[in-house]
Structure 1
Amino acid sequence: MAPTQATDGQSERVAVIGASMTQFGQREEWILDLLAEAGSECLDDAGVDAAEIDHLYVSNMTSGEFEGMTGVMNALVHDLNAMPAYTQRVDQTSSSGGAGIYAAWQSIMSGASEMTLLVGGEKMTHKTTGESTDIIASIGHPVEYKHGVTLPSFAGLTARHYLERFDVPRASLAKVAVKNHKNGVDNPNAQFQREVDLETVVESPIIADPLRLYDFCPVTDGSAALLFCPESVAQEYTDDYAVIAGVAGATDTHVVHEREDPTVMGGVVESGKEAYEMSGYEPDDIDVAELHDMFTILEFLQMEGLDFAEQGEAWQLVEEGYTEKDGDLPVNTSGGLKSKGHPLGASGVAQAVEIYEQLVGEAGPRQVEADVGLCCNVGGFGNCVITTIMEAAE
């Protein structure tokens, strides 16, 4: 099927007309219930019947490993009464949500679908810390894991190198956690809705030196959803929608020590360049950003990889309040993964839900002035990355 054509003969832009996010945290519900909760709420938000869905994508990394359940995408179509919609599971480790956005965008742009629902979710908290660590560690290279090098280890090693190489105060990393927890207070669906002070962060237990407990995101259950369609279809439903202006993915080395510079995330750089080029926007045009702060150091590396700051200088913007909610570039108004939580397959979708709500003016007390927003979803320690740029409807 040829791409849907606008009246001027050009391919139509892809719009987002609905969004939802469940409560993140420790949930009693299992994965299919969480997915159905977000999916049905998203359809209600858009005022679209499930029978209108052509494609349904499920971003999920570990339903088999955590719950022994596969085929969640097929079961979800049934539970939402969306049959006979085509469905597919999207797994790109912890960037599965961003990859789902890319897949949903492609399905609309290709003309194969006029209404695509994306639901991302994960159920994780019922496992022990050791069990969860082993499952998540499967993202990395098996040889690295054999030698005890896990994602937290990479984060600690990179943070130590970054602090020493660029003469960065340790407190600057802690201020990322303080900021994101402060933002999370205003997110009713965040896992942690409480502030933490600088002293609490820097004196919390060491996990991977120099990173401490509050430099890491929690283990989380939850789900989030977005509804995509051509812009002309969006206009039949609402005047308040967002448009995918640019979306791109990139892959870096699987073996982290093979990277030329451990403080440069190549997947972030390359996906950002392509998303900027596709959208026609530049870093200075971005009004709000959601970055993948699984570890506090990742917020610095993504700010630099996306050209919001020069290499080794992102920490200065944090010190100056540039990334605060009332700063020049609010970062992680949702609370980020740090406060909002990180249910692997849902995180990238939830990032875009926050950007969508900011662009259509539905972010409540988190609201900032924004016409253009960006989200960056990272898989593993930068092994794969999806960057999405969204803009408010004109």
Structure 2
Amino acid sequence: MTEGSAGSAGSAGSGGGRVARPPGQRIPRPARPMPQVAPGPHAVVVAGARPNFVKAKPVLDALAAGGFRTTLVHTGQHYDEAMSGVFFAELDLRRPDHHLAAGSGSHAVQTAAVMTAFEPLLERLAPDVVVVFGDVNSTLACALVAAKAGVRAAHVEAGLRSGDRSMPEEINRIVADHLCADLFATSPDAVENLLREGAAPRSVHLVGNVMVDTLLARRDEALARPTLAELGLRPGGYGLVTLHRPANVDDAAALDGLLGALGEIATRCPLVFPAHPRTAARVGGRLPAGVRLLGPVGYLDSVALQAGARIVLTDSGGIQEESTVLGVPCLTLRESTERPLTVTEGTNRVVGRDRRVVVTAALDTLEHPPPPRRPALWDGQAGRRIAQVLAQAVAHPSAGGVSAGPVAAAR
């Protein structure tokens, strides 16, 4: 019997022998189990209307970079593919993980529809935090569901106040701020509003403007598009109009007055007017000479139109901010604004709806445009600051529902 066979026999027998191995061969050791990596904190990010997608993009990116798992929920408050789907492609924003399909309706119907659909989803996802944006009905609905479920909620653009409670958005802003544990403000006046209303100082964070994050990230791409050339426009050779608020487009007398003002302004500076189909239907055949009605435009085309305009006339809060960053004079066709920083440190003027006042202000602005200015912290880093605060907040949930860090423009 050979040595090899003897060794094999001994190994297979009573166990008294040893298996022969070539010189230098190491005895294999059992593999060590891989360490279990705890999953990162989970954030549910809610978007309901088109501007919410613009604001959600930098927050989603910053949360993912900070180790968060993110779930994007589209409530469907704006559900037209042509109106909101374009934002996903242009912003390189992933498709929502869940779509609640809330649709339209009265404020009560829409808010209730979002709440009813979001509640079971939130129970199933069980996130560490829910992030809501702005002032639409979805903001209020999802903040309320989270608060009742005992889930931490954070409000981006907290503390904005117009002082006009006849605006549904003002009610949404106020209530959402009182429901959320983490309040992210765009401006010092928003911080002051929150503290005056009783918010805990440790819950309030001055972080800058997430809409500006997206604008700065996409501005060059927008300006490189052939938007103006395709419309036969030249930079500085036109004014831009946007109107969508019910007080302006649903009130026939108010709309007639504004259209009359636009007609007078257009004799000095031709105007282009991208309009939602609902607004276009209200305008009907009453469009003055010199005012050109366009269909809805995507985000990048909107930025290009603003950047090339000599003047902007709007009732949109977001466009007040974007025009300030782009350095374009803006007239707000409302009696108040929840974004006063665009007036004190930007290019905006609040002129109301009176025809003579609007025309006088527009002609003065065309002759004497304000110098471009940009508020502090509107620097493209707001999303990163928000993610840093939320990482600390969810890591220390025993802080009584109050996020870490004082009111500060730090980080």
TM-score normalised by L of structure 1: 0.30
Higher relative contact order (CA 8 A, sep 6+): 1
Which structure has greater helix proportion?
2
- Flag the structure with larger Rg: 2
Which structure has greater strand proportion?
1
TM-score normalised by L of structure 2: 0.29
